[in-house]
Structure 1
Amino acid sequence: MAFGEIERWMWADACELLARAERLHRQFFTPLAVEGTIGWSPPVDLYETENEFIALIALPGVAPGDVEISVLGRTLEVRGHRRLPALVRGAAIHRLEIPQGRFLLRFNLPEAGSALAAQGFEDGCLLLRLAKSAQGAKR
């Protein structure tokens, strides 16, 4: 294969991969028309210290009153709703990358018995502090 052909083949392959990534992004973050349907899941970072787990969940633009948190056994569940800002309601959308609507984040903590000790919003993120059970903290 000549060098020019390889270059065209690589370029076509790269363009195809970018188009596929864009399609997947649009599919994942498509606004939902059905009210009450879960539409997206926020990213989370989970840290562990000797006595607690710290979850940092990216929720920019979400009001604290629009979030519900529960811990059952090892499962942490955060659900809520991101609403369009009043300023843009009724405006034409030219680009929408920040997901809107109902969200759900559910995952298992590394150990059971953790309890929600503190919560708050910091720099657009929900910060959760989950105290380890006395049994788990002794490990």
Structure 2
Amino acid sequence: MWDAAIEALERAARLHRQFFRLAGQHERVPVWEPPVEVFEHDGLLAIVVALPGVAPDLVNLNLEGSTLVVAAERALPRALAGGTVHCLEIPYGHFERRIQLPAGRYRLVRRDAEHGCLSLDFERLD
């Protein structure tokens, strides 16, 4: 029960960071975190990152030990810049998502984008 409560709090904190930014934060500080799915299939570790409106070739991937860091920027469309916004639920600005990988060493074997999602397949090296 305690684990479920901790997980719910972490999820709530992630959602809060996803949609809110403190005034005066530096531009390179992540503004939001995209949702992810991590699963294993056919001997590969598969990660799907929801990135609507982000060009896949502009997404930076860095492996820092056992943590995969996915970062880029989702720019505000020009059409929104001069108009009146009635609803703005999709976050914009610099994002970064840190994904803790299961124990082991990995090598990226496939990077693909489809329907606003970045799909990554990693092969376990050990």
Common fold: TM-score over 0.5? yes
Higher radius of gyration, 1 or 2: 1
Distance 2:110 2:91 in 1: 26
Measure how far apart 1:130 and its partner are: 0.8
Counterpart position of 1:100: 92
SS at match of 2:31: strand
Which has the larger helix fraction?
1
56 and 37 in structure 1: CA distance in 2 versus 1, 3 angstrom threshold:
same
Q: Say what the alpha-carbon RMSD is for the aligned residues.
A: 2.2
User: Are 2:19 and 1:29 aligned?
Assistant: yes
Counterpart position of 1:76: 68
Distance 1:74 1:50 in 2: 21
Q: Which amino acid aligns with 1:48?
A: E
User: Are 2:46 and 1:57 aligned?
Assistant: no
Give the length in aligned residue pairs: 111
Counterpart position of 1:16: none
65 and 91 in structure 1: CA distance in 2 versus 1, 3 angstrom threshold:
farther
Q: Which amino acid aligns with 1:72?
A: E
Distance 1:131 1:92 in 2: 47
The sequence identity of aligned pairs, in percent, is 36
Q: Which runs of 5+ in 1 are unaligned?
A: 1-20
SS at match of 1:37: coil
Counterpart position of 1:111: 103
Per-residue CA deviations over 1:22-74 (Å, capped at 9, x if unaligned) read xxx77751366642221111110011124210001110111123310012331
SS at match of 2:103: coil
Counterpart position of 2:3: none
Mapped contact 2:17–2:32 kept (Cα < 8 A): no
Counterpart position of 2:122: 130
TM-score normalised over the length of structure 2? 0.76
Distance 2:43 2:16 in 1: 40
Q: Which runs of 5+ in 2 are unaligned?
A: 1-11
